[in-house]
Each structure stands twice: as structure tokens, then as C-alpha cells.
């Protein structure tokens, strides 16, 4: 299991929008330059964030508007928008363990609750961090010359 880089790219997008909104027109090309990726990838992620109601994208003139206060957008909100999990389960269980094997017929009972607890712990931790945290951290590092 690995969360794709689209999640961190989305967090990067939010941070750029906030840090540069008063200095530059923040477009998919601008973001692609900061992230060092193709603008098409950025546009796909922007579409996902827009569908989740986290941003608005201004067509033509370009620009991105974040639709909620930064303190109200958690890493989990971004994760849900970018990395939707199949059937609500982070872990995909192998399809058909052998019911004739003592381990195979019991593996779900052994793992299901544990995997759900792990997923909930990760999601709860993601809810602790916000886009406001990223913006403040970025501005502090920039002010310190980092």
C-alpha cells in the first residue's frame, strides 16, 4: 500500500495558492513549475479538488480560490478528495482465501478489525493537520530565508 504522490502534490498546490496569491497569477502552469511536473497532472488534481468543493478554478483569466477557511481544510479532506478508497476500506483484502485452510478460513476474522483500526488511526492523525498549518509553516520558513 502506498498513497500516491497526488496527495502531496495537492498539499503543495494549496500551499502555493496561499503563499503566492497576492504576487502571481497561480495557474496550472505556475503550479507545475513549482511542483516540477506536467500541467496536465496539476489540472487533473485541481478537478478533483474542485469536485470535492475545496477550490474554485477561474477559467480564462486563471486563478484558484480556496472555498473554505484554511483552518477548516484538513489533510484528511484533501486525502478524501485525491485518494478515494474503494468501499471505504484503505486495505484491499485478497479475493478468496482458501476455506479449506485453517488460516485461510480465519484470516478475515484475524485481520479485519486490526486493519480498520489502523485506517482509523491514520485518518484521525490526518485530521489534526490543516492547510493553515502548511501556509504558516511555509511563510515562517520563507521569512527565515529557508
| Segments making up each domain of the chain, as ranges | 5-143
Q: H or E element: which one contains 56?
A: strand 55-57
Give pLDDT, residue 25.
Answer: 87
> Which value, in Å, is the radius of gyration of the alpha carbons in the chain?
19
**Do residues 110 and 52 touch, judged by C-beta distance below 8 A?**
no
Give pLDDT, residue 90.
Answer: 83
Ramachandran sector of residue 93 (left: φ over 0; alpha: ψ -120 to 50; beta: rest): beta
Give pLDDT, residue 123.
Answer: 94
Kindly report the CA angle at 73 between 71 and 78, in degrees rounded to 5? 150
Give pLDDT, residue 10.
Answer: 97
CA 22/CA 16 separation, integer angstroms: 11
Q: What is the DSSP string of 69-104?
A: -GGG-BHHHHHHHHSPPGGG-SSPPPS---TTSTTT
CATH topology of domain 5-143: Arc Repressor Mutant, subunit A (1.10.10)
pLDDT (tens, 9 = 90+) of the chain, 146 residues, equals: 567 899 999 999 999 999 998 898 899 999 999 999 999 999 999 999 999 999 999 877 678 999 999 999 999 999 999 987 777 788 878 888 999 999 999 999 999 999 999 999 999 999 999 999 999 999 999 999 99
Ramachandran sector of residue 88 (left: φ over 0; alpha: ψ -120 to 50; beta: rest): left
Amino acid at each position: 500500500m502506498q498513497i500516491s504522490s497526488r496527495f502531496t502534490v495537492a498539499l503543495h498546490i494549496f500551499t502555493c495558492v496561499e503563499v503566492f496569491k497576492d504576487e502571481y497569477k497561480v495557474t496550472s502552469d505556475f503550479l507545475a513549475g513549482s511542483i516540477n511536473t506536467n500541467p496536465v497532472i496539476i489540472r487533473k488534481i485541481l478537478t478533483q479538488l474542485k469536485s470535492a468543493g475545496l477550490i474554485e478554478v477561474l477559467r480564462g483569466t486563471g486563478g484558484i480560490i480556496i472555498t473554505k477557511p484554511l483552518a477548516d481544510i484538513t489533510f484528511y479532506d484533501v486525502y478524501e478528495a485525491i485518494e478515494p478508497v474503494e468501499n471505504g476500506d484503505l486495505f484491499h483484502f485478497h479475493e478468496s482465501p482458501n476455506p479449506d485452510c485453517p488460516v485461510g478460513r480465519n484470516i478475515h476474522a484475524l485481520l479485519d478489525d486490526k486493519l480498520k483500526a489502523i485506517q482509523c488511526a491514520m485518518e484521525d492523525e490526518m485530521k489534526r493537520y490543516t492547510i493553515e498549518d502548511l501556509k504558516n509553516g511555509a511563510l515562517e520558513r520563507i521569512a527565515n530565508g529557508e
